[in-house]
Structure 1
Amino acid sequence: MNPETAQVTHDFPSLFRVYDNGQIARYQEHDFVPPSLDPKTGVESRDVVISPENNVSARIYLPKTAGGGGKLPLIIYIHGGAFSIQSAFSSLYHYYINELASESGSIVVSIEYRLAPEHPIPACYDDSYAAIKWVDSHAGAGQGPDPWLNECADFERVYVAGDSAGATISHNMVIRGGFGFKFSGLILIHPFFGIGEPNKLWDFICPDTIGPQDLRLNPTAHLDHLSKLGCERVLVCVAGKDSLRERGWNYYQKLKNTDWEGVVEFFETHGEDHVFHLFDRECENSISLMKRIVSFIKG
């Protein structure tokens, strides 16, 4: 088939288009920023390969407070992007995670997973799980492959955080469990928990879905599912102008009404839209959101 005559068969504006010749074109490709010693925050970063066969990797961030005599909290971060765009290695996330590591005084492991639609769901879930199992190999005796995690990470203070689709995956990781450590907290930033009705994007990138009640997308579909959350504390952050705001609020309310024994907190940024903090990290509301997340981690 002549590529010039290919026809669009599926179109998801701002994300990607699919053509009848199998070609996939994203509306905007992410950039790439190499790991570095950040001059602004003093945070040092480097990349590790976790699963070469599936291109699963991560970027580890070490704050300048490391080596000060005590171990540091560990944050596992899962980026957003509707399961189909963005990267842990893009400038959007690299500079944000530098600030998160610096402000919270935490080691951060930012996961790079395979994207849909080339790799349909559950690839991003399975990749994230594999990455966390790799992190888990450093717990206990501290004999994992990465010296930063062995020497500096406190596996009594492990948090998993994510924004948008990354928050959806983060919730799934805490439910799934099976790690040698217990998560101290779950941080959901503008979570994407579906739209409460059939979702064309989800149906396309998740071939085996059962629809709006799929717990991988909509964790509030069954309250007994929520009650199995394997952590002690949850922070749900929403933005007032975000179309997904009510989905986050619904999660918060339903989690409170289960027999889960942890504590759930809610933080709303009024007048802002979805993941605004990634695009303007210096604005007052972004600074306020960062402070709220940091206070949750420092407990």
Structure 2
Amino acid sequence: MESSAKAVAHDFPPFFRVFEDGTVERLLGTETVPPTTDSFTGVQSKDVTISAETGVSARLFLPKTASSTHKLPLLIYVHGGAFSIESPFSPAYHSHVSSLVAEANVVALSIHYRRAPEHPLPIAYDDTWAAMKWAATHCRCNGPEAWLNDHVDFERVFVAGDSAGANIAHVMVRKAGDDGLEGVKIVGMVLVHPYFGNDRPDKLLDFVFPTISGPNDHRIYPNKDSNLSSLGCNRVLILVAERDWLNERGRTYYEALKQSGWGGTVEIVETEGEDHVFHLFNPNCDKALALLKQMASFFNQV
């Protein structure tokens, strides 16, 4: 291919490489699928533009049971991929969120934030917050998107994400605790195999977040956040995998949140014998189906 003849300036396998002319080659997560109506579950999906100026968009999912007489919880989902690959339109994420919608009977907004390295952090945080504020404009049933106006109960909003997306999800709920999100009540947050920093050097993190304020930046290191008790929801579920290199970081977050003085309830569940985001690679295995049901049960708690 053409890129193989160009000089590589920065190489971060298996995610991306940057060439000396500034072009970026993503090594994973570039395949996309269109929105559709799932023939088995009846879940519908469509794509929406949130900001024409920045290009921030999302994929909306609506369960088969949706009606004008009974409003449903809203799941705001943030995909993973080292802040740099994948999207809501990737086959794995489209399938995962669609399955969550069918299992939990929720409406979902899966956010397409701008990705590093072309758009380094904190841009992904800013884009996701902009998408959440856009969603909140529908709380009085007069926003630009009919599915949100007609089918969402904004008193029952959940935020979830995996890996880097779980990091973004935390930052969003923490920001909601400080700044509020008018018309929206964030009931709970699910962090799946979350990425948070540790004390070891991380060249990829330094590259995708060049303005990070060091090891005390609580967006990456929430255990260093002296105001973690301000987290803007009442319930948190943390899912970790036994063989995941990020397992310890999820557990550190769990302990930090418990000790912060936050008044909510937090639970951590480990999947034995599995690796990082195994449920995306093997969604039909028994343990992936169990994870899906754990998340759906969390969303359905009163």
* Normalised-by-shorter TM-score class: over 0.9
Residue of structure 2 aligned with 1:200, choices 193, 199, 203: 203
Query: Are residue 175 (structure 1) and residue 174 (structure 2) matched?
Result: yes
Distance, in Å, in 1 between the alignment partners of 2:285 and 2:124 is 31
Structure-2 residue corresponding to 1:271 = 273
> Is residue 232 of structure 2 the alignment partner of residue 230 of structure 1?
yes
How far, CA to CA, are the matches of 1:54 and 1:69 in structure 2?
A: 35
CA distance in 2 between counterparts of 1:270 and 1:159 reads 26
3-state DSSP class of the match of 1:201? helix
* Matched letter for residue 112 of structure 2: E
Task: Report what 1:79 is aligned to.
Answer: 79
Question: Which amino acid letter does the alignment assign opposite residue 42 of structure 1?
Answer: G
Instruction: Supply the distance in 1 between the matched residues of 2:199 and 2:285 (Cα, whole angstroms).
Output: 31
Partners of 2:38 and 2:3 in 1: CA distance:
43
Structure 1 position 129, deviation (Å): 0.5
How far apart are 1:6 and its partner, in Å? 3.7
2:204 aligned partner, one-letter code:
L
Which residue does the alignment assign to 1:24? 24
Structure 1: give runs of 5+ residues left out of the alignment: none
Does the Cα contact within 8 Å between 1:48 and 1:59 map onto a contact in 2? yes
Deviations 1:156-186 (A, max 9, x none): 1100000000000000001111311121001
The 2-side partners of 1:3 and 1:144 are apart by 44
Residue by residue over 1:196-247, the C-alpha shift from the partner in whole angstroms, topping out at 9 and shown as x without a partner, is 322111111112112333212111112x231110100000000000000000
What is the aligned counterpart of 1:184 among 168, 182, 187? 187
Mapped to 2, the partners of 1:212 and 1:293 lie a distance apart of 31
Q: 1:288 to 1:68 in 2, by over 3 A?
A: farther
SS at match of 2:287: helix
Deviations 1:118-149 (Å, cap 9, x if unpaired)? 0111111111001000000011x211111111
- Provide the TM-score with structure 2 as the length reference: 0.95
The separation in 2 between residues aligned to 1:21 and 1:56, in whole angstroms, is 26
Distance change (3 Å), C-alpha of 1:211 and 1:287: same
Do the aligned partners of 2:29 and 2:90 also contact (CA within 8 Å) in 1?
no
The whole-number CA distance in structure 2 between the counterparts of 1:68 and 1:4 is 54
Q: In angstroms, what is the RMSD of aligned CA positions?
A: 1.5
Q: Using structure 1 for the length normalisation, give the TM-score.
A: 0.96
How far is the alpha carbon of 1:42 from its aligned partner? 0.6
Q: Paired residue for 2:246?
A: 244
Residue identity in the other structure for 1:297:
F
Asked if structure 1 preserves the Cα contact closer than 8 Å seen for 2:28 and 2:86, the reply is no
- Give the structure 1 partner of residue 216 of structure 2: 213
Q: Supply the distance in 1 between the matched residues of 2:27 and 2:106 (Cα, whole angstroms).
A: 34
Q: Can you list the C-alpha shifts for 1:30-65, whole angstroms capped at 9, x where unaligned?
A: 211111111021100111100011110011100011
3-state SS in 1 of match to 2:230: coil
Q: Is the 8 A contact 1:197 1:212 kept in 2?
A: no
Count of aligned positions: 296
Q: CA deviation at 1:3?
A: 7.2
SS, match of residue 119 in structure 2: coil
What secondary structure is seen at the aligned counterpart in 2 of 1:54? coil
Alignment of 1:131-170 (within 5 A): 131-139=131-139, 141-170=140-169
Secondary structure at 1:187 match in 2: strand
Q: Residues 4, 174 of structure 1: CA spacing in aligned structure 2 closer, same or farther, 3 A cutoff?
A: closer
For 1:261, give the aligned amino acid: G
CA distance in 1, matches of 2:276, 2:215: 21
The runs of 5 or more residues in structure 2 that have no matched partner are: none
Q: Distance in 2 between matches of 1:212 and 1:264?
A: 24
Counterpart CA distance in 2 for 1:267 and 1:4 is 43
1:68: Cα distance to partner?
7.0
Residue 8 of structure 1 contacts residue 17 of structure 1 at CA under 8 Å; is this kept in 2?
yes
